[in-house]
Amino acid sequence: MAGATREALERLTGRVALITAAGSGMGLASARRLAREGAHVIAVDIDDARAGAAVEAIEAEGGSAEAAQCDVGDERAVARLLTEVRREHDVLHILFNHAGIPGPAGLEVEVADWDRTVDVNLKSAWFVSSYALPLLRNAGTKASIIFTASTSGIVGSPSAPLYSMTKGGVVLLMKSLAVTLGPEGIRANAICPAMIDTPMLPQFFGREAGADIEDFKSKFMSAVPLSRTATAEEVAGVVAFLASDDASWVTGVALPVDGGFLAK
């Protein structure tokens, strides 16, 4: 955190944040960033070991966190998770609905794969937000809901229409919540990343048989004005901004984090 100001480090002090898929990639980077800025982080992941490792990383940096295992594609598991959070905290200031999977490419997909992609990418965003709402209301005007959508939720994906469909649904869910909950002072926004250098990147660009991941990356970077991929930490900085009072007048925004990809 060299160069970060004391003020910036403290802008989330006293707040409780729940992050889904916090065990790796952008979720982990965001969990660590919010904790550095003072939030107590509930690191949720389908993999209990990864959730625990996230907490260990946060605590090693002097932050405060707890781990929770949950398959957020399972509504009953989500209900149990939020019941426990309510028992322990009775408030959520920040909800980061980050969980997502690439899903299969193309239109010829198995029904089970279609269902699982919709469950994790879209239904989880709905149900986690729904069950968390009473806790967010307890935070008053400090409540912020953040979703991970995608540039593929703004423009169509030529290779993965199912993924694009679910992320487009996330964007409109976010906008609807911004309109519905705005009068209560609860903000809702979405980040729309493009190519981010995380462990999941090969899954996104290796869905089709014979796919050359490096070729995909090269073609992508040639279409990006900043001419590079982004790091998970760069995304985490945007999440921290949307979670903080610095974004107190920002709601209903699908914010591209894409190096200018959608500007062309």
Q: Which domains, from first to last, does the chain contain?
A: 6-259 (3.40.50.720)
Q: Give the closest residue to 96 by CA, choosing from 263, 222, 240.
A: 240
Residue that has been written with the tokens 């008053």 in this structure: 140
Higher-scoring residue by pLDDT: 73, 206: 73
Torsion of CA 109, 21, 24, 254, to 10 degrees: 80
Q: Give the closest residue to 191 by CA, choosing from 226, 230, 159.
A: 230
pLDDT band at 208 (very low <50, low <70, confident <90, very high): low
**Is residue 8's pLDDT more than 90?**
no
Higher-scoring residue by pLDDT: 264, 51: 51
Q: Give the closest residue to 173 by CA, choosing from 237, 105, 124.
A: 124
What gap in Å lies between CA 71 and CA 92, rounded to an integer?
20
Higher-scoring residue by pLDDT: 212, 169: 169
First CA to last CA distance, the chain: 33
DSSP structure string for 142-176: G-EEEEE--GGGTS--SS-HHHHHHHHHHHHHHHH
List, by residue number, the catalytic residues: 163
- List pLDDT tens digits, range 228-241: 888 999 999 999 99
Residue 83 backbone dihedrals phi, psi, to 5 degrees:
-65, -40
**Is residue 72's pLDDT more than 80?**
yes
Mean pLDDT of 165-179: 98
Say if CB 70 and CB 99 are below 8 A apart: no
Mean pLDDT of 190-203: 80
Question: Which residues 6+ apart lie within 8 Å of 191 measured at CB?
Answer: 146, 147, 148, 149, 235, 238, 239, 242, 255, 257
- List pLDDT tens digits, range 122-133: 999 999 999 999
Could you tell me how many residues make up the chain?
264
Share of the chain above pLDDT 70, in %: 91
**Is residue 5's pLDDT more than 50?**
no
